[in-house]
Amino acid sequence: MSKKKSENIPLKDQIKPIFKERFLEMLNNDNNEYEKFVEYILKPQRKSFRINTIKENNPQQLIENLKQKGLDISKIEWCENAFFLNYEKDSRTDIGNLKEHILGKIYIQEATSMTPVILLDIPQDIDNTFTVLDMAASPGSKTTQIGSLMNNKGIIIANELDYKRLSPLKINLEKSGLINIVITNNDATKIEGNNIFDRILLDAPCSGSGVIRKSPKTIKTYNPKQLKQICKIQLKLLQRGFELLKQEGIITYSTCSLDPEENELLIEEFLNQNKNAELMTCNIPNLILNNKLTKFFKNQIPEEITQKTIRIWPQDNDTNGFFVAKIKKN
């Protein structure tokens, strides 16, 4: 088929058979739920943002100011000081052009990506010995969220493998007013030492099958054969992160993928290899979680993993797809 002809075909009709087969299976072969899923992934992604309390001590007044500038805003119910932009006919959506964004008072961040930081359980009374590692930090969304919770106390190591991505990371961290961060440019699987960090965040490189709303053409290139190599890297990163974690410390593992190989099945393999790893319950009030995964073709998902991890479907909260697991080191 020529490129010109394919461009005239609706994206829904260009979905590959393997995509439909796998996602139908994930949705328990419920055709209605699958159609709802497809409907949502073909919608434009909703913009969302978080107020940076390092630079803004009156979030409510800031929101009122933004509303006066013509933005239609609603609260994200599962994250404090976080909001959606609603697309109404006469409302503004150019939040990136606002003074508040330029000054670092707000940070544009996809709503589901706020969940792993919430689950790190960062105490309010930390001292300057408290250390956090963000293993794959750029462009800094979750790093700045961690920094806001730590209120410039303790130490955050923001690591990024790709040196080309260091520049946006540095800009975002500086704009956010954070002074307790060290940026490193390492392969996170080769960070030296053991039992160093109180908290670790691993937002792992992944296939991106949960963020089709951000890049709809992904449904035409979807290829599960690539997952094997990606999963090797993810497991290696998670293993090294766990080794770097202090006893009683917490690591969150997340992906913007919905493929079980990168999520529930990978966590199962990791837990089987690490008997001192305790899977903790991911509890985020007001976050809607339907269609939990209990099996995937011949793979039966352990009930503990089904119940304790978070699998966010786009149709649940009108967001992207996302997965999070929370692990404690005993």
Q: Give the integer Cα–Cα distance in Å for 146 and 172.
A: 13
Q: Phi/psi of residue 207, each to 5°?
A: -75, -25
Q: Phi/psi of residue 302, each to 5°?
A: -55, 140
* Residue 19: closest CA among 214, 289, 223, 258: 223
Q: Which of 206, 231, 256, 282 is catalytic?
A: 256
Please indicate whether residue 231 is annotated as part of the active site.
Answer: no
Q: Give the integer Cα–Cα distance in Å for 175 and 104.
A: 5
Give residue for tokens 């790893």. 277
Give residue for tokens 């190599």. 229
Residues 6+ apart with CB under 8 A from 88: 72
Q: What is the DSSP string of 112-134?
A: GGGHHHHTT---TT--TT-EEEE
Q: What is the DSSP string of 135-152?
A: TT-TT-HHHHHHHHHHTT
Contact assessment for residue 278 and residue 2, using Cβ atoms and an 8 Å cutoff? no
Q: Give the integer Cα–Cα distance in Å for 145 and 36.
A: 31
Catalytic center residues: 256
